[in-house]
Amino acid sequence: TTSRGRRRHCCSSAEAETQTSYTSVKVLLIFAKEDSQSDGFWWACDRAGYRCNIARTPESALECFLDKHHEIIVIDHRQTQNFDAEAVCRSIRATNPSEHTVILAVVSRVSDDHEEASVLPLLHAGFNRRFMENSSIIACYNELIQIEHGEVRSQFKLRACNSVFTALDHCHEAIEITSDDHVIQYVNPAFERMMGYHKGELLGKELADLPKSDKNRADLLDTINTCIKKGKEWQGVYYARRKSGDSIQQHVKITPVIGQGGKIRHFVSLKKLCCTTDNNKQIHKIHRDSGDNSQTEPHSFRYKNRRKESIDVKSISSRGSDAPSLQNRRYPSMARIHSMTIEAPITKVINIINAAQENSPVTVAEALDRVLEILRTTELYSPQLGTKDEDPHTSDLVGGLMTDGLRRLSGNEYVFTKNVHQSHSHLAMPITINDVPPCISQLLDNEESWDFNIFELEAVTHKRPLVYLGLKVFSRFGVCEFLNCSETTLRAWFQVIEANYHSSNAYHNSTHAADVLHATAFFLGKERVKGSLDQLDEVAALIAATVHDVDHPGRTNSFLCNAGSELAVLYNDTAVLESHHTALAFQLTVKDTKCNIFKNIDRNHYRTLRQAIIDMVLATEMTKHFEHVNKFVNSINKPMAAEIEGSDCECNPAGKNFPENQILIKRMMIKCADVANPCRPLDLCIEWAGRISEEYFAQTDEEKRQGLPVVMPVFDRNTCSIPKSQISFIDYFITDMFDAWDAFAHLPALMQHLADNYKHWKTLDDLKCKSLRLPSDS
């Protein structure tokens, strides 16, 4: 035999499809003598980058094939005096390696006056295809390329599947694969051992036909099916019944497998026994039944070796030469995560328990793990609210923003009422985003940048920036397609929502809403945030940002509670404004079909979306600020930091795609978007500082006029130092929160702005300047 060819430099998509290393296609030409046809295939292989061998006899052909295992074999079937092509094909097909080989018969061209022969004899001999004699290199090349992109790639997938099933058969975790209608199609040996069944008893059966444990909640199966039928992964604890009748507690992860056309084709379930006392008895029984006399527990049940789902930070540390510099650059943020200046008592408790777990016996470590789970699901994350150095600015911010009006006066009730607006803006609103005026369109071209100037948009839209920015952002994220609503409906919704923001407010107006929407969209574009949330989460976040302060009266919750306002009475002095914002937003949306963006989605999607929006808007209420931040740090940041720093700490890191962690990420995202002003470029930061100060000044003025308690005395327009108030706000609320958010989302530009702005306020304060700028800069 002779060989020729070179490995192709391009990588076929077969590699991505099978997740196996792709090698160049190998072709064997079996021709008794060299002619124009053999040359045509030879040069076609060279052109395609295939590795090619030529054999002249059946014996040398078989020997070469058994040595090289070619993917394509071309046999000359045009003559019979030198060898029988069909006999050669049958001899090759008799070997094991030929299972994945495509064999092509080259046949003589038939004249027009002769009937073409049937291909059945060729198929019976083992050929896959027939090629009508044609020595053109391009004709041979096209034939080989079609075979590669068809049969050969399919064979690559089959070979990869064999490797995958071999891995599954030797996997310690129990694995079950079912069809889209829950018929069992595969179980591995670990599943057989765990459940006590032989695979022959399970394959082809519906899951519904298998015995169920009575220890599960009645609605658990419905909950699981609802989740996975939407294409979402479900993970949790489930009780299963073994063939023996015993119930065992399993940690189960069910992943839908999406096929062509976006249809769910299979469900893959990974099952591990939870380490409980009852389960430990079952484990030993399983080992005894399966003949395992080992004195130690298998890998999948050992606590110390059990790998838990964690935040995916390997994408950072595996980016070639950039990894060390990136890791070094992010280490200071990680260090700050471990030493936050505002640490709740529960955080200290968790750190102590984590340290105790390090050298504890398995049973103790498991018990402490359970303790951590309990602690992380209760309301124990708010720190003791002491002030820093008895700073009156900090004290007033805490009292004004983190309490719901604890001081009361009899009488002097402030009744806040407002007619809900359904009217549209006086501006001529565009029919679509493509019809906006050029001056606005030009500004919106830069809306994906963090340094986007919202105040310029406010000016050119006559204080109605929300509609224009909203249409652009929602279009970018495909919100209309997700909600199945028209852009006309979306535009009408934006108009109604914006009309219910008070343009008379210095700060809490539709410009602030647009700014928060812009920040939310920016955060959603960050790699790790995008990888943690699905489209429903993105849509919910954008809607929540849009409506999060709708109908804000320009007064704090404490003011409304002290004044005995109608809203405070309605919501029992608890999260008064945030509850009002969400309730009104949904009232405005569903009361008029012309602006009802939810009218075309099904009930389940609507309920999920509504709950996510409500949860995010309520998260902007400041009384639970430290609870949200500390939960984020303990459940997201610290597991991620431990992996980046190579720590052996097992602080129960849950996957970022777990529903409970997605909730924490969404809360943290909208909280940061809501108060991102100190992280904006200096000019924007200064403008926002002036606006919020003016709104607080106006509240203090009204409190004095009404004879109400003054909840933030430092915000007296005659005496207030704006730089001091900004420094206190950044120190107490912003720094730790954005350190945590930056550690997750990676926001170096924002952190640089924060440092520059803090330096600006510090410089003014050192110079005893109480205004936004030095007089010489005004």
What are the structural domain ranges in the chain?
A: 2-164, 171-302
Over residues 565-585, the mean pLDDT reads 97
The SS3 assignment for 483 reads: helix
Nearest to 426 by CA among 395, 461, 387, 391: 461
Picking from 60-74, 544-558, 745-759, which range would have the lowest pLDDT averaged per residue?
A: 60-74
Cα gap 311→636, rounded to integer Å: 7
What does the pLDDT look like over 424-447, one tens digit per residue?
A: 444 445 445 667 888 999 999 999
CB 677 within 8 A of CB 691: no
Cα gap 515→471, rounded to integer Å: 14
Give the pTM.
Answer: 0.54
If you average pLDDT over each of 117-121, 184-188, 285-289, 374-378, which comes out highest?
Answer: 184-188
Name beta bridge partners: 254. Answer: 234, 269
**Among the residues of 74-128, which ranges form H helices?**
85-93, 120-125
Q: What are phi and psi of 752, to 5 degrees?
A: -70, -45
User: Residue 381: what pLDDT?
Assistant: 59
Structure tokens, 289: 């039944």
pLDDT category of residue 82 using cuts at 50, 70 and 90 = confident
Cα gap 573→691, rounded to integer Å: 26
Strand order in the sheet with 72-76: 2-5, 51-55, 26-30, 72-76, 102-107, 129-132
pLDDT category of residue 45 using cuts at 50, 70 and 90 = very high
If you average pLDDT over each of 199-213, 252-266, 469-483, which comes out highest?
Answer: 469-483
Cα gap 147→103, rounded to integer Å: 10
pLDDT-above-90 percentage for the chain? 58
Picking from 249-258, 371-380, 449-458, 468-477, which range would have the lowest pLDDT averaged per residue?
A: 371-380
Q: Binding site, residues?
A: 508-512, 548-549, 674, 726
User: Residue 301: what pLDDT?
Assistant: 37
pLDDT at 418 over 50: no
508 is a catalytic site residue: yes
Homologous superfamily of 2-164: Response regulator (3.40.50.2300)
User: Residue 97: what pLDDT?
Assistant: 86
pLDDT at 8 over 70: no
pLDDT at 254 over 80: yes
Name beta bridge partners: 183. Answer: 206
Nearest to 665 by CA among 582, 750, 740: 740
Q: How far is CA 379 from CA 375, 443, 628, in A?
A: 8, 44, 10
Structure tokens, 262: 């976006």
Query: Which letter does DSSP use for residue 528 in this model?
Result: H
Cα gap 722→724, rounded to integer Å: 5
Over residues 230-239, the mean pLDDT reads 89
Cβ neighbors of 550 (< 8 A, separation 6 or more) are: 497, 500, 501, 513, 581, 584, 585, 588
Nearest to 425 by CA among 377, 470, 392: 470
Cα gap 272→175, rounded to integer Å: 9
pLDDT category of residue 230 using cuts at 50, 70 and 90 = confident
Over residues 470-474, the mean pLDDT reads 97
**Among the residues of 533-658, which ranges form H helices?**
535-547, 557-563, 566-570, 576-590, 603-619, 625-632, 638-644
Side chain identity, residue 297: E
pLDDT category of residue 414 using cuts at 50, 70 and 90 = very low
User: Residue 282: what pLDDT?
Assistant: 54
Nearest to 230 by CA among 531, 609, 598, 604: 604
Query: Which letter does DSSP use for residue 212 in this model?
Result: B
pLDDT-above-70 percentage for the chain? 78
One-letter-per-residue 3-state SS of 652-679: CCCCCCCHHHHHHHHHHHHHHHHCCHHH
Cα gap 482→102, rounded to integer Å: 44
**Among the residues of 339-431, which ranges form H helices?**
345-357, 362-376, 392-401
User: Residue 297: what pLDDT?
Assistant: 40
Picking from 270-284, 423-437, 457-471, 606-620, which range would have the lowest pLDDT averaged per residue?
A: 423-437
CB 561 within 8 A of CB 703: no
The SS3 assignment for 342 reads: coil
Picking from 17-21, 458-462, 702-706, which range would have the lowest pLDDT averaged per residue?
A: 17-21
Nearest to 215 by CA among 194, 237, 243: 237
The SS3 assignment for 11 reads: coil
The SS3 assignment for 402 reads: coil
Cα gap 535→478, rounded to integer Å: 9
pLDDT category of residue 653 using cuts at 50, 70 and 90 = very low
Q: Is 23 left (phi over 0), alpha (psi -120 to 50) or beta?
A: beta
Q: Binding site for Zn(2+), residues?
A: 512, 548-549, 674
What does the pLDDT look like over 293-339, one tens digit per residue?
A: 443 343 333 333 333 333 333 333 333 344 344 344 444 555 555 55
Structure tokens, 524: 């959603």
Cα gap 55→96, rounded to integer Å: 20
Q: Is 69 left (phi over 0), alpha (psi -120 to 50) or beta?
A: left
Nearest to 615 by CA among 526, 530, 551, 536: 536
pLDDT at 386 over 70: no
Nearest to 269 by CA among 194, 160, 163: 194
**Among the residues of 69-136, which ranges form H helices?**
85-93, 120-125
Name beta bridge partners: 74. Answer: 29, 104
Q: Which CATH fold topology does 171-302 show?
A: Beta-Lactamase (3.30.450)
If you average pLDDT over each of 78-92, 347-361, 425-439, 610-624, which comes out highest?
Answer: 610-624
Query: How many residues in the chain?
Result: 778
User: Residue 432: what pLDDT?
Assistant: 59
Query: Which letter does DSSP use for residue 602 in this model?
Result: -
CB 729 within 8 A of CB 692: no
Task: Out of 70, 77, 393, 508, pick the active-site residue.
Answer: 508
Cβ neighbors of 248 (< 8 A, separation 6 or more) are: 194, 239, 240, 241, 242, 273, 278, 279, 282
User: Is the model more confident about 207 or about 493?
Assistant: 493
User: Residue 157: what pLDDT?
Assistant: 76
Q: What is the mean pLDDT of the chain?
A: 82
Cα gap 317→325, rounded to integer Å: 10
Strand order in the sheet with 174-179: 184-187, 174-179, 264-273, 247-258, 234-241
pLDDT at 701 over 80: yes
Cα gap 551→440, rounded to integer Å: 25
Q: Give the helix, strand, coil percentages of the chain, each rounded to 5.
A: 55, 10, 35
Radius of gyration over every alpha carbon of the chain, rounded to an integer in angstroms:
34
